[in-house]
Structure 1
């Protein structure tokens, strides 16, 4: 059995009971080293196979091999395993290669939900997720999606917004949104949502400080109805209040 587990944003109190139970039942844990560290209190003396960044395929192959050999395996992803996590890759490998493994995907809280609760209620109306990492998606495709989402007035949650190798991507995303969103559009920034060092800021499209943002940050850009009141970011659903 292979459990593909979303462990949530990082804090153990935000992990689902189902995820904890799957980790408890596993014989071996597989994951990116940062994520295995976040759950070390639950792992005990179980063997852990951990790898660094950009080793997703190797992690999945190792997990599948262990499961095919009779082990109960927990492959962990932060947030939700089906949102920029390992669930899709595992299922692609199972469908395209000769793996005879039972796979169960265990959902988790994705970063936008954790960040949204910190900010208030910015995701009350239609919203979308866009990753600014161009490691697997061509940057022209990402630009097209940013423009389309802004034109459609979605609240936009930016994952993987800024890193040492991609310092200008978030600034470019804001330039692409500018023709469609007012300069005063509220923007929420949450760093390390759900973790011990969590921080957050509220700003606007025109006043955005890109230096606050790194790979551990989620950026939420509001729609034309989003407002800030008493330090909380709110996107109305449309109820008559």
Structure 2
């Protein structure tokens, strides 16, 4: 059995009971080193296999090989395993290569949901997720999605917004959105949600400071109806009060 587990944004308090149970039942835990560290208190003396960045394919093959040997394997991913996680890659390999492995998926709290709860209620109307990482998606495709989402007035959740290798991607995304986005549009940022160094702040589209945003950050840009009140970011659903 290979169980692909979404462990949430970082704290045990934000993990589902199903995820905790699956970890406890596993013989072997496989994952990116940061994520295996986050679940260390739940793993005990189990075998742990960890890999670094850009080793996703290798990591999935290791997990599948172990499962084919009859071991109960847990592949851990941050947030939800099916949202920018390993669920898709595991299923691609297993189905395309006809591997003899039973795969179970355990959902988790994705970053946008964790961040939204800390900021207020910014996701009360239609919203979308856009990753600004162009490691696997061409930048011209990302640009089209950003412009289309802004023109359609979606609340936009930006994953992988900024890193040392992509310092200008978030600023570029804001430039692309500018024709359809008012400078007064609320923007919320949550950094390291659910972890020890968690930070959050609310600003506006026109006053956005990109310098403190990094790969652990989730950026939520409101729509035309989103507003700030009492330090909270609120997107009306449309009820008549």
TM-score by length of 1: 1.00
Deviation of the 1:150 alpha carbon: 0.2
Instruction: Write out aligned runs for 1:36-185 (5 A).
Output: 36-185=36-185
Runs of 4+ in 1 over 3 A off after TM superposition: none
Q: Which residue of 1 aligns with 2:26?
A: 26
In structure 2, the residue corresponding to 1:210 is in which secondary structure? Answer: coil
Instruction: Write out aligned runs for 1:193-232 (5 A).
Output: 193-232=193-232
Q: What is the rounded CA distance, in whole Å, between the counterparts of 1:122 and 1:212 in structure 2?
A: 21
In structure 1, the residue corresponding to 2:31 is in which secondary structure? Answer: strand
**Matched residues, number:** 241
Q: What is the rounded CA distance, in whole Å, between the counterparts of 2:20 and 2:194 in structure 1?
A: 17
Deviation of the 1:119 alpha carbon: 0.2
Q: What is the rounded CA distance, in whole Å, between the counterparts of 1:196 and 1:240 in structure 2?
A: 40
Deviation of the 1:98 alpha carbon: 2.9
Deviation of the 1:41 alpha carbon: 0.1
Give CA deviations for 1:156-211 in whole Å, capped at 9, x if unaligned: 00000000000000000000000011110000010001111111111011100000
Give CA deviations for 1:56-97 in whole Å, capped at 9, x if unaligned: 000100000000010000000000000000000000001110
Q: What is the rounded CA distance, in whole Å, between the counterparts of 1:142 and 1:96 in structure 2?
A: 27
Give CA deviations for 1:26-53 in whole Å, capped at 9, x if unaligned: 0000000000000000000001000000
In structure 2, the residue corresponding to 1:136 is in which secondary structure? Answer: coil
In structure 2, the residue corresponding to 1:149 is in which secondary structure? Answer: helix
Q: Which runs of 5+ in 1 are unaligned?
A: none
Q: What is the rounded CA distance, in whole Å, between the counterparts of 1:218 and 1:7 in structure 2?
A: 17
In structure 1, the residue corresponding to 2:74 is in which secondary structure? Answer: strand
TM-score by length of 2: 1.00
Give me the CA root mean square deviation. Answer: 0.4
Q: What is the rounded CA distance, in whole Å, between the counterparts of 1:42 and 1:238 in structure 2?
A: 43
In structure 2, the residue corresponding to 1:196 is in which secondary structure? Answer: coil
